[in-house]
Chain A
Amino acid sequence: MQFMFYLLALVALLSAAMVVFSRSPISSVIHLVVCFLAIAGHYILLNAQFLAVVQIIVYTGAIMVLFLFVIMLLNLNTTNEPHKSMLTKVSALIAGGLLFLVLLASFRGANDIVAAHPYDAKIGLVKSLGMVLFREYLLPFEISSVLFISAMVGAVLLGKRDTVKKS
Protein backbone atom coordinates (compact mmCIF):
# COMPACT_ATOMS: atom_id res chain seq x y z
CA MET A 1 0.00 0.00 0.00
CA GLN A 2 2.61 2.51 1.05
CA PHE A 3 5.01 1.08 -1.49
CA MET A 4 2.40 1.59 -4.22
CA PHE A 5 1.97 5.20 -3.15
CA TYR A 6 5.66 5.99 -3.38
CA LEU A 7 6.04 4.10 -6.66
CA LEU A 8 3.14 6.00 -8.23
CA ALA A 9 4.44 9.29 -6.87
CA LEU A 10 7.85 8.61 -8.38
CA VAL A 11 6.31 7.73 -11.75
CA ALA A 12 4.13 10.85 -11.69
CA LEU A 13 6.99 13.18 -10.80
CA LEU A 14 9.44 11.71 -13.31
CA SER A 15 6.97 11.77 -16.18
CA ALA A 16 5.90 15.32 -15.25
CA ALA A 17 9.53 16.39 -15.42
CA MET A 18 9.87 14.64 -18.77
CA VAL A 19 6.86 16.63 -20.06
CA VAL A 20 8.78 19.82 -19.44
CA PHE A 21 12.21 18.71 -20.60
CA SER A 22 11.58 16.40 -23.54
CA ARG A 23 12.31 17.75 -26.98
CA SER A 24 9.48 16.66 -29.22
CA PRO A 25 5.85 17.54 -28.36
CA ILE A 26 4.66 13.99 -29.08
CA SER A 27 6.83 12.51 -26.36
CA SER A 28 5.65 15.27 -24.03
CA VAL A 29 2.07 14.15 -24.65
CA ILE A 30 2.96 10.50 -24.04
CA HIS A 31 4.68 11.38 -20.78
CA LEU A 32 1.71 13.44 -19.71
CA VAL A 33 -0.52 10.40 -20.36
CA VAL A 34 1.74 8.33 -18.11
CA CYS A 35 1.54 11.04 -15.44
CA PHE A 36 -2.26 11.11 -15.60
CA LEU A 37 -2.43 7.33 -15.37
CA ALA A 38 -0.28 7.50 -12.24
CA ILE A 39 -2.66 10.08 -10.79
CA ALA A 40 -5.56 7.74 -11.61
CA GLY A 41 -3.68 5.08 -9.64
CA HIS A 42 -3.51 7.51 -6.73
CA TYR A 43 -7.29 7.92 -6.93
CA ILE A 44 -7.70 4.16 -6.74
CA LEU A 45 -5.45 4.08 -3.67
CA LEU A 46 -7.68 6.75 -2.13
CA ASN A 47 -10.71 4.55 -2.89
CA ALA A 48 -12.12 7.23 -5.22
CA GLN A 49 -13.13 4.82 -7.94
CA PHE A 50 -15.43 7.17 -9.82
CA LEU A 51 -12.69 9.79 -10.07
CA ALA A 52 -10.19 7.19 -11.28
CA VAL A 53 -12.49 6.07 -14.09
CA VAL A 54 -13.34 9.66 -15.06
CA GLN A 55 -9.65 10.56 -15.01
CA ILE A 56 -8.80 7.70 -17.37
CA ILE A 57 -11.74 8.33 -19.72
CA VAL A 58 -11.74 12.12 -19.80
CA TYR A 59 -8.08 13.00 -19.41
CA THR A 60 -6.09 10.22 -20.97
CA GLY A 61 -8.86 9.22 -23.34
CA ALA A 62 -10.28 12.50 -24.58
CA ILE A 63 -8.08 15.46 -23.73
CA MET A 64 -4.73 13.91 -24.55
CA VAL A 65 -6.10 12.50 -27.81
CA LEU A 66 -7.22 16.03 -28.63
CA PHE A 67 -3.67 17.24 -28.02
CA LEU A 68 -2.28 14.46 -30.20
CA PHE A 69 -4.74 15.30 -32.99
CA VAL A 70 -3.79 18.96 -32.96
CA ILE A 71 -0.07 18.14 -33.00
CA MET A 72 -0.43 15.71 -35.86
CA LEU A 73 -2.90 17.73 -37.95
CA LEU A 74 -0.90 20.94 -37.68
CA ASN A 75 2.37 19.05 -38.11
CA LEU A 76 3.85 20.57 -34.98
CA ASN A 77 6.17 17.73 -34.11
CA THR A 78 9.34 19.65 -34.72
CA THR A 79 12.25 19.29 -32.37
CA ASN A 80 14.05 22.50 -33.34
CA GLU A 81 11.79 24.73 -31.33
CA PRO A 82 13.37 28.09 -30.44
CA HIS A 83 14.45 28.04 -26.85
CA LYS A 84 14.33 30.78 -24.33
CA SER A 85 17.52 32.51 -23.36
CA MET A 86 19.73 30.94 -20.73
CA LEU A 87 18.97 33.73 -18.28
CA THR A 88 15.23 33.13 -18.57
CA LYS A 89 15.70 29.39 -18.17
CA VAL A 90 17.84 29.73 -15.06
CA SER A 91 15.46 32.24 -13.53
CA ALA A 92 12.52 29.92 -14.32
CA LEU A 93 14.30 27.07 -12.53
CA ILE A 94 15.06 29.31 -9.56
CA ALA A 95 11.49 30.60 -9.43
CA GLY A 96 9.98 27.11 -9.55
CA GLY A 97 12.37 25.79 -6.92
CA LEU A 98 11.78 28.75 -4.64
CA LEU A 99 8.03 28.35 -4.94
CA PHE A 100 8.37 24.68 -3.98
CA LEU A 101 10.53 25.61 -1.00
CA VAL A 102 8.05 28.24 0.16
CA LEU A 103 5.16 25.79 -0.14
CA LEU A 104 7.08 23.13 1.79
CA ALA A 105 8.03 25.60 4.51
CA SER A 106 4.47 26.82 4.87
CA PHE A 107 3.12 23.27 5.15
CA ARG A 108 5.77 22.37 7.69
CA GLY A 109 4.32 24.65 10.32
CA ALA A 110 0.77 23.48 9.72
CA ASN A 111 -1.05 21.59 12.42
CA ASP A 112 -1.76 17.94 12.12
CA ILE A 113 -4.42 17.94 9.45
CA VAL A 114 -5.81 14.43 9.78
CA ALA A 115 -9.27 14.88 11.20
CA ALA A 116 -10.89 12.51 13.60
CA HIS A 117 -13.78 11.65 11.31
CA PRO A 118 -14.60 7.97 11.12
CA TYR A 119 -13.62 6.53 7.82
CA ASP A 120 -16.46 6.08 5.36
CA ALA A 121 -15.52 3.64 2.63
CA LYS A 122 -18.48 4.55 0.45
CA ILE A 123 -17.81 8.18 -0.39
CA GLY A 124 -15.84 7.50 -3.55
CA LEU A 125 -18.34 5.13 -5.08
CA VAL A 126 -20.60 6.15 -7.93
CA LYS A 127 -23.80 5.81 -5.95
CA SER A 128 -22.96 8.10 -3.07
CA LEU A 129 -21.20 10.63 -5.31
CA GLY A 130 -24.24 10.71 -7.58
CA MET A 131 -26.47 11.35 -4.58
CA VAL A 132 -24.34 14.31 -3.53
CA LEU A 133 -23.96 15.60 -7.07
CA PHE A 134 -27.64 15.57 -7.93
CA ARG A 135 -28.93 16.78 -4.58
CA GLU A 136 -26.61 19.40 -3.14
CA TYR A 137 -24.77 20.37 -6.30
CA LEU A 138 -27.55 20.24 -8.86
CA LEU A 139 -27.35 23.93 -9.78
CA PRO A 140 -23.57 23.94 -10.43
CA PHE A 141 -24.02 20.77 -12.45
CA GLU A 142 -26.56 22.44 -14.72
CA ILE A 143 -24.45 25.58 -14.99
CA SER A 144 -21.50 23.47 -16.08
CA SER A 145 -23.58 22.23 -19.00
CA VAL A 146 -24.08 25.88 -20.02
CA LEU A 147 -20.31 26.30 -19.75
CA PHE A 148 -19.83 23.33 -22.06
CA ILE A 149 -22.24 24.76 -24.64
CA SER A 150 -20.46 28.10 -24.63
CA ALA A 151 -17.04 26.41 -24.86
CA MET A 152 -18.24 24.36 -27.81
CA VAL A 153 -19.61 27.41 -29.60
CA GLY A 154 -16.42 29.31 -28.88
CA ALA A 155 -14.19 26.49 -30.14
CA VAL A 156 -16.20 26.17 -33.37
CA LEU A 157 -16.17 29.93 -33.88
CA LEU A 158 -12.44 30.18 -33.26
CA GLY A 159 -11.62 27.21 -35.41
CA LYS A 160 -13.65 28.39 -38.37
CA ARG A 161 -11.78 29.91 -41.25
CA ASP A 162 -12.44 33.60 -41.82
CA THR A 163 -14.70 34.03 -44.83
CA VAL A 164 -15.12 37.77 -44.55
CA LYS A 165 -12.25 39.63 -46.15
CA LYS A 166 -10.48 41.97 -43.82
CA SER A 167 -10.86 45.49 -45.10
Chain B
Amino acid sequence: MEPIQTAIRVVPLEHYVILASALFCIGILGVLFRRNTIIILMCIELMLNSVTLLLAAFSAYHSDPAGQVFVFFIMVVAAAEVAVGLAILVMMKRNIDSIDINLLNRLKW
Protein backbone atom coordinates (compact mmCIF):
# COMPACT_ATOMS: atom_id res chain seq x y z
CA MET B 1 0.00 0.00 0.00
CA GLU B 2 1.58 3.23 -1.10
CA PRO B 3 1.38 6.21 1.24
CA ILE B 4 -1.51 8.51 0.61
CA GLN B 5 0.63 11.46 -0.42
CA THR B 6 1.76 9.60 -3.51
CA ALA B 7 -1.47 7.73 -4.08
CA ILE B 8 -3.40 10.92 -4.51
CA ARG B 9 -2.64 13.58 -7.11
CA VAL B 10 -1.29 11.09 -9.60
CA VAL B 11 -4.05 12.00 -12.04
CA PRO B 12 -3.38 15.45 -13.49
CA LEU B 13 -5.96 18.02 -12.51
CA GLU B 14 -6.62 18.81 -16.17
CA HIS B 15 -8.18 15.39 -16.57
CA TYR B 16 -10.68 16.16 -13.84
CA VAL B 17 -11.47 19.43 -15.60
CA ILE B 18 -12.01 17.62 -18.89
CA LEU B 19 -14.19 14.96 -17.28
CA ALA B 20 -16.33 17.53 -15.48
CA SER B 21 -16.81 19.64 -18.60
CA ALA B 22 -17.75 16.55 -20.61
CA LEU B 23 -20.37 15.60 -18.02
CA PHE B 24 -21.66 19.18 -17.99
CA CYS B 25 -21.98 19.22 -21.78
CA ILE B 26 -23.84 15.90 -21.74
CA GLY B 27 -26.26 17.48 -19.25
CA ILE B 28 -26.77 20.51 -21.48
CA LEU B 29 -27.24 18.23 -24.48
CA GLY B 30 -29.95 16.35 -22.59
CA VAL B 31 -31.77 19.55 -21.68
CA LEU B 32 -31.77 20.64 -25.31
CA PHE B 33 -32.43 17.19 -26.74
CA ARG B 34 -35.41 15.77 -24.87
CA ARG B 35 -39.01 16.83 -24.38
CA ASN B 36 -39.67 14.77 -21.29
CA THR B 37 -39.62 17.05 -18.25
CA ILE B 38 -38.39 14.38 -15.87
CA ILE B 39 -35.36 13.67 -18.07
CA ILE B 40 -34.62 17.39 -18.18
CA LEU B 41 -34.67 17.49 -14.36
CA MET B 42 -32.28 14.53 -14.30
CA CYS B 43 -29.94 16.28 -16.69
CA ILE B 44 -29.91 19.34 -14.42
CA GLU B 45 -28.88 17.00 -11.59
CA LEU B 46 -26.11 15.68 -13.83
CA MET B 47 -24.81 19.19 -14.46
CA LEU B 48 -24.82 19.99 -10.73
CA ASN B 49 -22.90 16.78 -10.06
CA SER B 50 -20.23 17.57 -12.61
CA VAL B 51 -19.65 20.93 -10.95
CA THR B 52 -19.45 19.37 -7.50
CA LEU B 53 -16.94 16.81 -8.76
CA LEU B 54 -14.76 19.63 -10.05
CA LEU B 55 -15.06 21.53 -6.74
CA ALA B 56 -14.05 18.42 -4.80
CA ALA B 57 -11.08 17.82 -7.11
CA PHE B 58 -9.81 21.38 -6.73
CA SER B 59 -10.35 21.20 -2.99
CA ALA B 60 -8.34 18.00 -2.72
CA TYR B 61 -5.52 19.29 -4.92
CA HIS B 62 -5.27 22.58 -3.05
CA SER B 63 -5.74 21.09 0.43
CA ASP B 64 -8.58 23.51 1.11
CA PRO B 65 -11.62 22.09 2.92
CA ALA B 66 -13.84 25.04 1.93
CA GLY B 67 -14.44 23.48 -1.48
CA GLN B 68 -15.87 20.33 0.04
CA VAL B 69 -18.11 22.38 2.32
CA PHE B 70 -19.44 24.12 -0.77
CA VAL B 71 -20.09 20.72 -2.37
CA PHE B 72 -22.18 19.91 0.69
CA PHE B 73 -24.18 23.13 0.26
CA ILE B 74 -24.70 22.40 -3.43
CA MET B 75 -26.13 19.01 -2.48
CA VAL B 76 -28.52 20.72 -0.04
CA VAL B 77 -29.72 23.12 -2.73
CA ALA B 78 -30.05 20.25 -5.23
CA ALA B 79 -32.25 18.27 -2.84
CA ALA B 80 -34.56 21.26 -2.32
CA GLU B 81 -34.62 21.92 -6.06
CA VAL B 82 -35.59 18.33 -6.86
CA ALA B 83 -38.41 18.37 -4.31
CA VAL B 84 -39.94 21.54 -5.74
CA GLY B 85 -39.30 20.49 -9.34
CA LEU B 86 -41.00 17.14 -8.90
CA ALA B 87 -43.94 18.84 -7.19
CA ILE B 88 -44.27 21.14 -10.21
CA LEU B 89 -44.08 18.09 -12.47
CA VAL B 90 -46.87 16.35 -10.54
CA MET B 91 -49.00 19.47 -10.82
CA MET B 92 -48.26 19.71 -14.54
CA LYS B 93 -49.27 16.10 -15.08
CA ARG B 94 -52.47 16.72 -13.13
CA ASN B 95 -53.44 19.92 -14.92
CA ILE B 96 -52.56 19.30 -18.55
CA ASP B 97 -52.17 15.50 -18.38
CA SER B 98 -48.79 15.50 -20.04
CA ILE B 99 -45.16 16.11 -19.13
CA ASP B 100 -44.18 17.40 -22.52
CA ILE B 101 -42.09 20.54 -22.05
CA ASN B 102 -43.16 21.95 -25.42
CA LEU B 103 -46.74 22.36 -24.24
CA LEU B 104 -45.67 24.92 -21.66
CA ASN B 105 -44.76 27.73 -24.01
CA ARG B 106 -47.06 30.51 -22.91
CA LEU B 107 -44.24 32.43 -21.26
CA LYS B 108 -42.00 32.02 -24.24
CA TRP B 109 -42.11 35.38 -25.98
Contact = CB atoms under 8 A, between A and B. Distances in A.
Contact of B88 (A88, A124, A158): A158
Given A71-B38, A92-B33, A96-B26, A123 B90 contact: no
B39 A25 contact: yes
B27 A16 contact: yes
B73 A144 contact: yes
B56 A32 contact: no
Interface residues of A, number: 83
B22 A100 contact: yes
A2 B10 contact: yes
Contact of B33 (A5, A20, A39, A100): A20
Contact of A96 (B28, B77, B79, B89): B28
A83 B39 CA distance: 13
Contacts of A51: 52, 56, 68, 71-72
Contact of B86 (A45, A70, A89): A70
Contacts, number: 231
A54 B71 CA distance: 10
A89 to B, nearest CB: 6
Size class of the contact patch on chain B: 35 or more
Given A13-B22, A119-B63, A133-B72, A20 B30 contact: yes
Task: Give the secondary structure class of B's interface.
Answer: helix
Contact of B34 (A20, A66, A119): A20
Given A20-B30, A51-B56, A107-B17, A67 B62 contact: no
Name the 6 nearest CB pairs between A and B, nearest first: A96-B29, A92-B32, A151-B80, A158-B87, A20-B30, A100-B25
Interface of B: 4-5, 7-15, 17-19, 21-30, 32-36, 38-39, 41-43, 45-46, 49, 52-53, 56-57, 59-66, 68-69, 71-73, 75-84, 86-91, 93-94, 99-100, 102
Interface of A: 1-2, 5, 9, 12-13, 16-17, 19-20, 25, 28-29, 32, 35-36, 39, 42-43, 45-48, 50-51, 54-55, 58-59, 62-63, 66-67, 70-71, 74, 76, 81-84, 88-89, 91-93, 95-97, 99-100, 103-104, 107, 113-115, 117-121, 123-124, 128-129, 132-133, 136-137, 140, 144, 147-148, 150-152, 154-156, 158-159, 161
